[in-house]
Chains A and B, each alone.
Chain A
Amino acid sequence: MNINATLVGQMIAFAIFVWFCMKYVWPPVVQVLNDRQKKIADGLAASEKAAADLELAKARIAQDFDKARVQAQEIIDQANRRAGQIVDEAKDNARKEGERLILAAQSEIEQQVNQARGSLSLQLAGLATAGASKIIGRHLDEEANKDLIETLIDELRESA
C-alpha cells in the first residue's frame, strides 16, 4: 500500500483516456443515437400522417361513390324520359301516318268515284242518245242536239 509515482502515471493515463473518449468515441455514437431517435420519430410521424391520409382517402371515396350513384340515377332517369319521349314520338308519327294514309285513300276513292261517275255519265249520254234515236227512228243530227244532250248530262251529273 505504498503511495508512489504509479499515482501520477494513472492520472496521466486517465487524462489521455478521457480525452480520447471525448474526441473520438463519444460524439459519433451519440450522433448515431440521436439520428436513430430522429429517424424513429420521423417514421412514427409519417405513419400517423399516412393513417390520416388513408382516412381522408376513404372519406373521399365514399363521397365520390355517392356522387357516382346520384349521377347514375340521373342518367337512368334521363334515359327513361328519353325512352318515353321516343315512344310518344313514334306513336304520334304512327297516328299522323295513319291519318295521312286514310286521307290519301279517301281522296283516291273519291277520285275513282268521280272517274266512274264521269264514265257512267258518258255511257248514259251515249245510251240516252241511242235510246232517243231508236225512239225517233232516225239519227238525230248529233251536232244539233249536242246542247240538249250536254244539258241532260249536266243535270244527271248534278243529280248524282
Chain B
Amino acid sequence: MATHTAAEYIQHHLQNLTWGQLPAGYERHDGSVLSEPVWTLAHTGAEAKAMGFWALHLDSLFFSLVLGAAFLALFYRVARRATSGVPSLLQSMVEVVFEFVEGSVKDAFHGRSALIAPLALTVFVWVFLMNLMDLVPIDLLPGLAGLVGIPYLKVVPSTDVNVTLGLSLSVFALIIFYSIRAKGVGGFVAELTLHPFNCADKRLQVLLIPINFVLEAVTLVAKPVSLALRLFGNLYAGELLFILIALMGWYQPPLHFVWAVFHILVIVLQAFIFMMLTIVYLSMAQEKH
C-alpha cells in the first residue's frame, strides 16, 4: 500500500489489521456496495470502524499469542531441564527473572496464593516482550507484510488498547474474585457502600450509601482503566514518536538511536509497573480493612 503524505503514513501505521463483518449496503473502499453482510479484512480505517465490536485485530492477537507462546515455551523448556546443581546460562537468566518476580511478590503481596507469583511472572515477561516489539524498526514488518498483500500491520500488541484492556480486565476480575473470597459477598458490598463516610445513625447511613458507592465504584473501576491506559498510552506515544522520527529524513538515525535507548528503559519500566500494580491491587483486594 503506497503512502503519499505524512498524515497518511502515520494513520497507516496506527491502523490494526482488522477482520470482521461488514453489513449489507456498505460501500467499500473501492466503491463497490455490498449486497449482503460479508466477513472480510478491513482495507480502511473507516471499514474497521464499521465492523463494530465483533471484529478481531489479527495483528495484535497474532503477535501477542506468538510472544506469549514463545515466552512459555522457553520457560517450560528451562523448567523441565532445571537442575539444582550448576545451572546453564539460560537457566541462570530465567532464574534471575524468577527471583526478581518472586521478590516483588513477597514484598508487595501480603498473604499466600499459588496464583499470584505465576500471574506476576506471566504479566511481566509477556508485557515486556510485547513492548519489546516497539524496538523492531517500524517499517520492517509492515513493509514485508505489504509485499504479500496484507494491508495493515501493527507489530506492537501493547499499542492496541484492546490488548492492554484485556489484561487489565482479567486483573479486575481477579480483584473482585479475591475481594469476595476474602470478605464474602456481604463484606465486598459493605466495602463499596459503608466507606469512606460512616455514620452511627442508621437513617443517615442510608443516605450516605449512594455517595459511598459512587466514590468506591470510581476507585474500583479506576484500577483496571488506569492500568490499561497507562501501558497503552506509554507504548502508543513511544510508537508514535518512532513513526514521527521515521518521517525526518536524515535526522532519523541519531534521533532514532536516542529514542530507542530511552525506550528500552520505558518498556522494562512499564512491564514492571504493570506487574507491580497487579500484585498490589490483588493484595489490597484480599486485605480486610
Contact = CB atoms under 8 A, between A and B. Distances in A.
B114 A22 contact: yes
Interface string B34-65: 00000000000000110111111100110011
A29 B80 CA distance: 8
A29 B170 contact: no
A18 interface: yes
Interface in A1-42: 1-11, 13-15, 17-18, 20-22, 24-26, 28-33, 35-36, 39
Contacts of B166: 6-11, 13-14
B169 A11 contact: yes
A11 B94 CA distance: 25
Given A14-B167, A32-B84, A4 B52 contact: yes
A5 B170 contact: no
Nearest to B74: A25
Interface residues of A, number: 31
B18 interface: yes
Given A4-B54, A29-B79, A30-B102, A10 B118 contact: no
Q: Is the interface of A mostly helix, strand, loop or mixed?
A: helix
Given A28-B80, A30-B98, A5 B53 contact: yes
Nearest to B157: A10
Interface stretch (B119-127, B137-145, B192-200): B119-127
A74 to B, nearest CB: 55
B167 to A, nearest CB: 6
Contacts of B115: 18, 22
Contacts, number: 128
A18 B177 CA distance: 16
B170 A11 contact: yes
B119 A22 contact: yes
Nearest to B58: A6
Contacts of B60: 6, 10
Given A25-B75, A29-B94, A13 B64 contact: yes
B161 interface: yes
Contacts of A30: 98, 102, 117
Interface of A: 1-11, 13-15, 17-18, 20-22, 24-26, 28-33, 35-36, 39
Interface of B: 16, 18, 20, 48-49, 51-57, 60-61, 64-65, 68, 71-72, 75-76, 78-80, 82-85, 94-95, 98-99, 102, 114-115, 117-119, 121-122, 126, 160-163, 165-167, 169-170
